[in-house]
């Protein structure tokens, strides 16, 4: 989850599979259909990498239990990446896994992309890790310089100073071949800065619009490589800059420049945190959501009932009417993270942006709990949340546990909602049937009607 999964996910989407190397699949969802789809892989032809810094995070631990049984309890099918002395390290040793790669306890999870957590999966996938790190080292050397020759310090200072001027929505436009890089930056910035009632909200996945689509709270960043398929986005960025919006553009030679960009953004985020007077290396509200989930699973706390269904226009309209200039609209979806579901929810978020002129975000649960979830609870009270859950199509038991994945994702959604409400956030929870595609269509229609009604 979080820092242990997002770098491998970005690498898997940014590089072509090397000849003779395995596919790289990343599972960071407890949603039953997502788990089951990975479970269909032939265990005899699969190497499972279980990755968790603390070794106590619920999701990778139950993934380990589930796939260990599916692989016939064959420890040589497993590799574990975890910090020395963790409970996961002890469990891995007892299960006689093939190899344990140690994490560095001095490195926080979201800053661990260029450590074993990102590099071991990258190496299996056939990425030139030596070159990736060589480019990162060159960026690190630049970041040891005094400003203005320090690219990380300059970016961090810009992020912090613009936040202080009200431009606290750091909006990414990321092009090929690294178009999923925004997911990684999103976690880094949101979890590092979203606390103590302040922070910088990363906005990933919104296509660039025209100046009239936005308020005055944006800072636009474009990241891409030279190529004709990026020309239109660059033109839009120039238009936004000409209209008075702060913009910056980083051009990569190729995907191996991700090493340098990861270091740039890690350094910049630490600088921004220091200038904002916050600790960029803790995440207090992430643990809060974990604790609420565990309480629900252990029967110590009841799960709050969903408030609405996809056709409840009055409830949706009430939520949307609460949006004010400077707010942001967040869709938190506990449904399968498929391309089709993402496209459907992107249509809905863009409707809201066009009508309300506010930033919009989309997160799939439980991934976002370890990403923007910290900002949702610890950042400013400017978020308006549409939570989406769905009935499980089938139960999916977890060996050795009294509950299955369907109960885990339900508890995570309920714990998330309870935590948001405890912080006084505006939240509407919508429950879909097992036909998620149809439910998302109905919800999009409801949002459109609510936005058009007077």
CA angle 315, 317, 320 (to 5 degrees): 115
pLDDT over 90, % of the chain: 89
* Structural domain includes residue 94: yes
SS3 call for 97:
coil
- Per-residue pLDDT at 153: 98
pLDDT value, residue 453:
82
Q: Specify if 315 maps to a domain.
A: yes
**What percentage of the chain reaches a pLDDT higher than 70?**
98
DSSP-derived secondary structure letter, 277: T
pLDDT over 80 (residue 387): yes
What is the reported pLDDT for 293?
87
Domain count, the chain: 3
pLDDT at 454: 63
Establish whether the linkage from the previous residue to 366 is cis, with ω within 30° of 0.
yes
Instruction: Examine the domain organization and report whether 446 and 355 are in the same domain.
Output: yes
Question: Is residue 243 located within the same domain as residue 298?
Answer: no
- Could you read off the pLDDT of 298-334 as tens digits, one per residue? 887 766 656 688 889 999 999 999 999 999 999 999 9
Q: Domain for residue 136, yes or no?
A: no
Indicate whether 17 belongs to any domain: yes
Q: Report residue 46 as tokens.
A: 């699969």
| CA triple 440-445-446, angle to 5 deg | 95
Write down the H helix ranges in 98-180.
116-124, 129-142, 151-164
Same domain, 96 and 175: no
DSSP secondary structure code for residue 111 in this structure: G
Residue 190 falls inside a structural domain: yes
pLDDT band at 179 (very low <50, low <70, confident <90, very high): very high
Summarize pLDDT for 107-144 with one digit per residue, the tens: 999 999 999 999 999 999 999 999 999 999 999 999 99
The domain spanning residue 329 has which CATH number? 3.40.50.10490
Domain ends where: 276, 302, 333? 276
Residue 132 within any structural domain of the chain: no
- 283 vs 186, which has greater pLDDT? 186
Q: Which comes out higher in pLDDT, residue 443 or 286?
A: 443
Domain C-terminal end among 276, 301, 331: 276
User: How far apart, in whole angstroms, are the C-alpha atoms of residue 118 and residue 121?
Assistant: 6
Tell whether the model's pLDDT for residue 448 goes beyond 80. Answer: yes
Positive or negative, the CA dihedral 155, 1, 205, 418 is negative
Q: Which pLDDT value is given to residue 304? A: 60
Residue-level pLDDT at 450: 97
Residue 201 and residue 157 share a domain: yes
Same domain, yes or no: 26 and 107? yes
pLDDT digits (tens, 9 = 90+) for 190-216: 999 999 999 999 999 999 999 999 999
The range of the structural domain enclosing residue 45 comes to 2-127
Tell me, yes or no, whether 214 lies in a domain. yes
pLDDT digits (tens, 9 = 90+) for 53-70: 999 999 999 999 999 999
In a domain, 137, yes or no: no
Q: What is the pLDDT of residue 283?
A: 85
Do 307 and 436 fall within a single domain?
A: yes
């Amino acid at each position: 989850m979080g820092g242990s999964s997002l770098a491998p996910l970005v690498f898997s989407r940014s590089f072509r599979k090397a000849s003779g190397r395995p596919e790289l699949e990343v599972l960071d969802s407890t949603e039953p259909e997502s788990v089951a789809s990975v479970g269909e892989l032939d265990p005899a032809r699969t190497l499972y990498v279980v990755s968790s810094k603390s070794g106590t995070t619920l999701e990778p631990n139950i993934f380990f239990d589930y796939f260990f049984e599916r692989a016939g309890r064959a420890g040589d099918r497993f590799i574990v990446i975890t910090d020395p002395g963790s409970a996961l390290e002890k469990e891995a040793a007892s299960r006689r896994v093939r190899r344990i790669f140690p994490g560095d306890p001095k490195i926080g999870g979201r800053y661990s992309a260029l450590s074993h957590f990102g590099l071991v999966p990258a190496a299996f996938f056939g990425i030139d890790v030596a070159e990736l790190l060589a480019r990162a080292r060159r960026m690190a050397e630049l970041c040891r310089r005094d400003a203005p020759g320090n690219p990380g310090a300059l970016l961090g200072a810009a992020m912090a100073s613009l936040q202080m001027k009200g431009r606290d929505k750091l909006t990414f436009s990321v092009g090929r071949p690294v178009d999923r890089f925004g997911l990684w930056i999103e976690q880094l910035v949101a979890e590092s800065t979203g606390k103590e009632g302040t922070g910088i909200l990363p906005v990933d996945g919104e296509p660039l619009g025209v100046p009239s689509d936005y308020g005055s709270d944006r800072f636009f960043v474009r990241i891409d490589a030279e190529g004709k398929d990026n020309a239109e986005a660059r033109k839009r960025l120039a238009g936004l800059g000409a209209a008075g919006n702060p913009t910056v553009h980083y051009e990569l030679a190729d995907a191996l420049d991700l090493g340098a960009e990861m270091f740039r953004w890690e350094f910049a985020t630490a600088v921004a945190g220091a200038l904002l007077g916050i600790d960029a290396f803790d995440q207090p509200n992430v643990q809060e959501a974990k604790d609420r989930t565990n309480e629900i699973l252990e029967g110590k706390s009841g799960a709050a009932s969903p408030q609405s269904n996809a056709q409840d226009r009055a409830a949706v309209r009430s939520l949307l009417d609460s949006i004010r200039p400077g707010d942001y609209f967040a869709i938190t979806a506990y449904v399968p993270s498929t391309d089709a579901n993402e496209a459907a929810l992107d249509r809905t978020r863009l409707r809201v942006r066009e009508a309300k002129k506010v930033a919009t975000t989309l997160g799939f649960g439980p991934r976002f709990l370890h990403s923007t979830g910290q900002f949702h609870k610890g950042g400013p009270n400017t978020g308006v949340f549409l939570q989406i859950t769905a009935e499980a199509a089938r139960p999916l038991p977890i060996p050795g546990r009294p509950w299955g994945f369907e109960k885990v994702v339900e508890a995570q959604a309920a714990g998330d909602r309870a935590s948001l409400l405890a912080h006084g956030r505006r939240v509407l929870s919508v429950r879909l049937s097992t036909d998620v595609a149809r439910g998302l269509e109905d919800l999009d229609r409801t949002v459109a009607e609510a936005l058009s009604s007077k």
